Structure 1
Amino acid sequence: MTPPSDRASPSLRARLTALLLLAVLITALVQAAITWRTALAETEAVFDAQMERVALSLTGGLAASVLGDDALGRGRGAEELIVQIWRADGIMLYRSPSAQLLPPQTVIGFSNVRAGGQDWRVYALETPIQVIQIAQAERARRRMAGQLALRAVLPVALLAPVLMLIVWWVVGRALAPIARLRRQLAARGAGDLAPLPTDGLPAEVRPLVEEMNGLLARLAAAWQQLADFTADAAHELRSPLAALRLQVQGLQRAGSEAERAQATGRLLAGVDRATRLVEQLLALARHDGAARGTPAPVDLAALARHAVHDAAAEARARGIVLAATGDPVLTVTGQSEALAVLLRNLVDNALRHAPDGGQVRVLVRRLPGGAAELAVDDSGPGIAPGERQRVLDRFYRVPGTAGHGSGLGLAIVQAVARRHGAQVVVESSPTLGGARVAVRWPVGALRQR
């Protein structure tokens, strides 16, 4: 997985939120300033006109005689505002110059009155000597409110396209790294499994790309494993198949029963070697890749006893003493099937190199400090120090080694051990004098019973 960058990754959500809020805030401030100035000017003008009309109306005939009818509102809005003053005995003292006349009976306070074919909003104030009525046409009020609302909404409507362009630009800038990543993916070929760049990606997208890089790495490893298996199989099967062909031809040329029996035995031995090679190739391909299955507690001591039991017949046939020693129970976390393959290959390798009448010992023990060790010793010739690391490579056999091994047994052991976080060590056996192949788990790998 690609390691995270030292720089703090920008957050896509935080960036979008901050930029959008900034754009909305600026727009709202501009709109609020314009609306405030417009509404203030309109309401000031309306209240000023209302106060002037009321003041002039309350002066009665004196105002009319001094200022004339025009000053009392006979201009614009005269038909939309009515002011009437009634004396306590019902005699009208004053009426503003309007064609409409309100009824003398009214509700003190605010009320709605229909007069002259239209609706009026009326406010009546009663004093000890008179009643004052001020009415305004509902139509005029709605028209004035509509004008004010239009003036308030108009700046927002004009700024809306600008806001949309700002938001579009901001989102495009914020999502530019994702668009760049999409173009990079679209331009890749089928065999390009290199990791994707993570520089400059938002914090919400970066983990996704890192997981994709992990997947690409696993796909690249699987692809390489398939290529290696194909090359190994093609290389290693060529010689056994050629040998089988020669043995079949020898069987065809056999002239006597003894020669045919000898050729048949050689052919069967060749088939067994080819079968063993194919099995080991398949085992290596199966255990050399990604781990399969769920790890679980595995008793290494029990697996060792099973491996010894399975190989006992072959050991007895050659007079080899095969035994399992060490701790009766030693549990690690792993996959029992894979560890059984590891043990089987270790025991087979030791039996192949041990002489007839020799010894092979499987040792399972807890090392000082808490580590675990699974070791297989044999009484064979051993392995020279310069060859001990190379015998873990696939298809490598120590020069001069007898037998018909394929050189895959210890490679399979190495693959399984790596999957379990263990280390394979090849050294001399301190007890039997031959080779010791040990698999060691680190401290903390043991499971407590």
Structure 2
Amino acid sequence: MSHEVDELFDAEMLQQAKTLSALMAVNSELMPESTTTIASLDAHTYEDKLSYRLENSSGDVILQTEGAPDAVDFEFVPGFSEKQVGGELWYAFGLDNTAKQQRVLMLQEDDFRSELRMDLTIDTVIPIMLILPFMLWLGWWTINQNFSSFNRLAAELRHKSADDYTAFVEGNDREEVAVVKRSLNHYLNRIEQTFLREKRFSADAAHELRTPLASLKAQLQSRLGNSTSEQQDELQPLLDSTERLVKLVESLLQLSKAELPPEQLKQINVASVLRQVLADQYSTAESKGLSYDARVPTVFQQTSDESYLYLLFANALDNAIKYAVPGSHIGIEVSENQIFVCNRVAADHVIDIDRITERFYRGKQLDVEGSGLGLSIVKNLAEQLRVQINFRHIDDEFCFIVTFDTDQ
């Protein structure tokens, strides 16, 4: 702002100097022969802050205004200059008319310029400062209005569950949002179809394999019972492999079921389901020398599905029985809205918590019988039942934790 004001007044002094120089040249015969001072009229506060001085080529003053610095204090300098005179800063522009042996010196005091600088700054900045908050609010409001549809779409995406493939409703959205929604709907439809084809293939393949595998298992068992010891040595590995295939097919069928939501969630006694699972797998645990340390109340009501919950606990307990140290005990405890299934593991047992629910992931425990689908089934069942599962491995204890939502 200061620079622009100085430029403006410098240009004004230049124009005034040119005008006075031209008038002196035209009316040279009318110029006074001795120094003449034009007295102040006291008509304006700025009157003495703006001055000029007319001289001949020898430096003798011909005409000057009252209040102008003396020639001794402020000598003529061609072009723009500035100088301190009596504690005041003066700006000057000198124009030398060599042909007429005349020169003009225009003078302006800094107080004059400073006051105008301040007035212009106040007149410019204060309106901006007053209007700026409103302009910022208006900009914020305009941006929010323009992006409100995107915000709603982002909120819908955040709250959409992983298995929800329903299309986004195209309402009174802006064209940009409508285009994005149509693309998302097309993408969701493709994902849903791909996912359904994968589930159908897994389920159909498992169903088709059940009958021939059951028949093969029955024939192997029949031949094994009527064979010599040498033949038994050959048939037993085949029967074991067939048994593993049967269990894998059953796991795949369970996984297919776990990827579909239950028909209806209702209030059930979770404690009763858990005790049934413990009873059904007691003989398997006993065969490994394991015992239960169960702390299960008589009633533990939650909103769930009985068949899905049975599969969840069955796979979790089966995992605990497989990897527990022989001769140890498996702890089952119900605490408030949580259920803990804990077992001891060997000191060299490696558990990757981040990958433990991946399909077919078994870590380094390949010598343990299993397909690596148990905890993947548990994860899918937990998602369908809207419960949270967590795993904890501290020292030699591994725990599977189910947390029910008390707000259901």
Q: What TM-score results when the alignment is normalised by the length of structure 2?
A: 0.48
Structure with the bigger RCO (C-alpha within 8 Å, sep 6+) is 1
